[in-house]
Structure 1
Amino acid sequence: MTAARAEGLPSESRAGSTSTVMSSFTSSAVLRLLSAQLAAEIAELRMRLAGLVAKHEHVQSKLDSIIYPVLQLPPEITAEIFMRCSPDRERDAQIMYKAEMLFPLRLASVCRDWRAVALSTPRIWGSMNICLNSSTHLDFQRRLALCGDAPLSLELCYNFRCRLDIPHIFPLAIAIDHCRNWETVKIDLMGRDVPLLNQVKGSLPLLHELHVSVYGVSAGVGDAFGDAPRLRNLTLTILDTGAYTISATHFPWEQLTTFNGDGLSVEGCFNVLRLASQLSSCTFSGWFGIDDGLPSVSLHLPNLRSLRLMNHERFGWFLGSLTLPHLEDLHISILPRQVSPFCDFICRSACSLRTLGLRTSSSLSPEILLQLWEAVPTVTHIDVSPSIFCDQMTRLLWEKSNLLPRLESAIVNGRRLPNYAMDHQLLVNMLRSRQHSLRSFSLFASESSNISARNVSQLISISKTGMDIQMDVTVPFQALVSR
């Protein structure tokens, strides 16, 4: 092949076979020709690259000149927005743990300006959920350094899937070193942890909500939380029921307005009500002990508006020692033999009860249930379980229009009971008779899945008059209504 023939090759063919040509032809003329061709291609690519670089610089300069409105805000306003957008502890309870920990990290990752604002805003770093083990203290220390003197919302909890013999003193001790900044605290204490609380010295000026769970052998947590002038909300969970006594812990009982207790003894429950005379809301669950453990003393509590006695029927008997003139919300487990003492309690208290929740492990006869309903004429909302209540309740409400005259909403909960078939037509009749006063009715029980198409049609007709009806049926009831 001559140089002329090589010159006549297509450009792509020349480019793709350069190495072959160079290995086949060694004359200086051919090499000079190929070198010139490659130089031309390189020059062309350089010109194209220069053009692209120029276009990129032009676009980037315009992009850099854009000032986003949010970045024009003063840092103080941005910091205030950060704090107001922090996860709400009550509203977002289900996502609180991860959301509170990740929130400031996500803000700091948006841009350089937001990172500077986030790092200089201690308040957004103060919500932490820390697992008590030996590997968490370094992260805990770093985060506390960012908090400065900001109020702290801490959850110091065990991961019980891990071994409990792993040393964990570091994060707990670090938290106690910052106790003056505690605002809301949830803390798990093993028996061996309790001595650490002796390091809590002086006042806890910011603490207004406290959750303490005690595991293992412990007689109490002493004076650690005795000087907390703002403490109003206390939750106490005891898992070693044989060792804990209320008298061994010096909480500021007289200023508490909300108390939740789980695992307390009979005497402990009674002592809480005796010591915390300003309570407006109280819940007891996980009761243990015997009925005769109560002192023969009656308590008159004028401030208590909400009382929940959960998980055990003996709490119904507990009411015999109480007079609660301003009680509005009561949830209680009750047996047939306790209805009469319950009615005596309502009469003695002369309270205007608005919400009544009832749980029972046995059926209440129509006579006993009528006695119970007649004792609470001011109730506007009832929540009953199990669903065996439903037929008895609906028949009374249908036949006696003057029963529970202020009733606006009702909820029936409970799993299916053996040999029990709900009378859905009776339910329809009751709702029709009360459709001008009853605003909502909810039935959450497996019995509702057996409802007939005719009854569903009747309920849909009632719902179109304005009553909110919710039921567990094969097709969601609300979807049927919307059709």
Structure 2
Amino acid sequence: MNSPTQSAAAALRTRLAEVDEKMAALHSQFEELAEVRRDVVDALASFVYPVLTLPSEITAEIFKHCVGPVGLGMGAGNAPLVLSSVCKDWRRIALDLASIWSDIWLASSSAPNMPSILKSWLPRTGTHPIDVTGLDTRHESINELVPYCEQWRSISCWLELPITGSLNDIRGRIPQLRSLDISYGGGPVESFANSIPLTMFSDAPNLRELSMTDQLPPSSPDMLHLFDLPWEGLTHLSSRVQGLDKVLQLLTRTPNLQSLSISPSSMHPAIVLPPPITLPRLRMLEICHKGAMVCDAIVAPSLKSLQITTPSEELGVPRLLARCESSLRSLSISGIDPPNWRFVLSVLRAAPMIEEAGLSMSSPLQQWRKLFSLIRSEKNFLPKLRVLSLTALAAVEIWNVSTFAEMTEMILERWSSDLDATSPSPGENPSGVQATHKLEAFRLVYSHLPDFSTKMLPNTPVTEWCVETLGILVKDGCKIKIQGLDLTPELSVEEQPSYTLDERYKGRILGGVNRTI
């Protein structure tokens, strides 16, 4: 008879044999799976992904077009990091492509880890020009960027006055800087008592574009005179400084401007308005309501494009245009409300030579009809107009049958009229100019939905005539885009209209259709 010890040992040996058997089976299964895995890996390796067959140069160009400004301090989702983590080939291309690392937006300049992020990021820019947005000179991030100042191409920064710190070290070391966006402010008024000239940007031989924003307290002294910049080399200026006196300071220093934008948050008039400042090379002017007083302070004989936001009666725009010697070719006015509609018409009348006009307005139906009627019936109202672009707040503002018909008549008249007009001779009043240009393009969109639909209009012969006429105008070559209205349907031979555009025009508008609404 076996002892208990012998029985226990036998059971354990049996259990051990079972475990060994299972391990052997699993080991065999593992080897089988490993073989299957090798086959799958080999099969995958045989695939050729088309994107990976592109030459590295083509892939690099695609990367350049896909990657925009890189927001540092926003996690690991930055495009350069994502691209470099896809595969070893893309990683090599991304790390060798300095341009995708060189457009930097400091999403949080004050973040404690921003200096360390910049320290690892900036070497990847190589020798490529660097664009930086969101730089705050109060934070330590500036210390990492200053050593790369010779690569700066554009800088957008906040300057805390009075300036202290390493930014002063860049003077004479920014040869590539072309664009500078400065917002400046400061603390208590007494902190400006010992302010010294700001010369860090004075030696920037290629600086052409400047944007200045004044955020000083209203009680602060004028600090604009402290900025030492290569003023005469500037060709583009965006001014958001407060007060006409400060704006005029900028304009007297920048005689070679080609583009000027004035949009202050507040604008008080100058104590004494000096003689108008002549800007002989200015071609584009953009002003908002509060920057409008500058119109009486400048002469722009070469002005080609004018953009006005939120116009008002006190704007000196008509007087400015009278001094432009009929040079203006493009006019855009946005934010038009009913109270300033008469002023808008006066501006349009003062610009007889414009070829492109854009209007964004919230106006009653009668004012829309008035505009269409003036363009249609008065040959001296915008006689050179080639392109008219309109933006309404909503389709309901414009779409009744009468307004729809007036618009159609206007486009038809300006497209079809064949007048032997000539430009005014020197010394003649430009208001004597006759229409010489076709209205080649008309565009109407809405800033609020719903889109226009002919279902919004009563089903009348006038409505049908308008839609058909607009369609044949498009077929004749006039570029008409009305949001929500399809003017290019495919017509069968049986559906082709029996009339011609010439017959419609010679029928003198609406072809005898009764337009009583």
TM-score by length of 2: 0.70
Specify whether residues 413 and 68 from structure 1 end up closer, same or farther in structure 2 by C-alpha distance, changes over 3 A only. Answer: closer
C-alpha contact (below 8 Å) 1:411/1:442 kept by paired residues = yes
1:104 alignment partner, one of 80, 89, 111: 80
Aligned residue identity for 1:454: L
- Tell me the residue number matched to 1:222: 198
Aligned partner of 1:17 in structure 2 is: none
Unmatched 5+ stretches in structure 2: 1-6, 416-438, 491-517
Distance 1:345 1:34, change over 3 A: closer
- Aligned pair in 2 of structure 1 residues 134, 48: CA closer, same or farther (>3 Å)? closer
* Cross-structure match for 2:38: 57
**Partner in structure 2 of residue 285 of structure 1:** 263
Q: CA RMSD in A?
A: 4.2
Structure 2 residue corresponding to 1:375, chosen from 346, 350, 359: 350
Contact 2:399 2:452 in 1 (8 A): no
CA contact (8 A) 2:171 2:199 kept: no
Contact 1:78 1:117 in 2 (8 A): no
Aligned residue pairs: how many? 432
Measure, in 1, the Cα distance between the counterparts of 2:246 and 2:348.
Answer: 31
Residue aligning to 2:152: 182
For residue 85 of structure 1, what is the aligned residue in structure 2?
A: 65
- The one-character-per-residue Cα deviations of 1:195-240 (angstroms, maximum 9, x if unpaired) are 5432223131111111111133467971111111121121111111
Alignment pair present for 1:133 and 2:110: yes
Partner of 2:210: 234
1:86–1:100 Cα contact (<8 Å) kept: no
Match of 1:439 in 2: 441
**In the superposition, relative to structure 1, how do residues 78 and 101 fare at CA in structure 2: closer, same or farther (>3 Å)?**
farther
Structure 2 counterpart SS, 1:109: coil
Within a 5 Å distance, the mapping from 1:18-167 to structure 2 comes to 45-64=26-45, 77=57, 80-81=60-61, 84-88=64-68, 102-130=78-106, 131-135=108-112, 136-157=114-135
Is contact 1:227–1:252 with CA below 8 Å preserved after alignment?
yes
- Superposition deviation, residue 109 in structure 1: 0.3
Kept after mapping to 1: 8 A contact 2:369/2:407:
no
Name the aligned partner's letter for residue 349 of structure 2: E
Q: Which shifted more, 280-289 or 391-400?
A: 391-400
- Does residue 318 in structure 1 map to residue 294 in structure 2? yes
TM-score by length of 1: 0.74
Q: For the structure 1 residues 139 and 88, does the alpha-carbon distance in structure 2 shift closer, same or farther, using more than 3 Å as the test?
A: closer
Please point out which of 206, 226, 230 is paired with 1:248: 226
Distance 1:96 1:376, change over 3 A: farther
Between the aligned partners of 2:75 and 2:13, the Cα distance in structure 1 is: 69
Matched position secondary structure for 1:60: helix
Q: Which residue of 1 aligns with 2:362?
A: 387
Q: CA deviation at 1:306?
A: 0.7
For residue 84 of structure 2, what is the amino acid of its counterpart? A
Partner of 1:172 in structure 2?
142
In structure 2, distance between residues paired with 1:431 and 1:100: 54
Q: Is the 8 A contact 2:305 2:331 kept in 1?
A: yes
- The corresponding residue for 1:164 is none
Q: Identity over the aligned pairs, expressed in percent? A: 19
Residue 414 and residue 134 in structure 1: after superposition, are their counterparts in 2 closer, same or farther (change >3 A)?
A: same
| Distance 1:123-1:438 versus aligned 2 partners, 3 A rule | closer
In terms of mean alpha carbon deviation, does 385-394 or 62-71 score higher? 62-71
In 1, are the aligned partners of 2:72 and 2:117 still within 8 Å (CA)? Answer: no
Deviation for aligned residue 1:147: 2.6
- State which of 411, 418, 423 in structure 1 corresponds to 2:390: 411
Question: 2:177 aligned with 1:207, yes or no?
Answer: yes
CA distance in 1, matches of 2:185, 2:40: 63
Once the two structures are TM-superposed, the CA of residue 268 in structure 1 deviates from its matched residue by 2.0
Q: Which runs of 5+ in 1 are unaligned?
A: 1-25, 159-166, 472-476
Secondary structure of 2:239's aligned partner: strand
**Kindly tell me: are residues 328 and 127 of structure 1, through their superposed partners in 2, closer, same or farther at Cα, counting changes over 3 Å?**
same
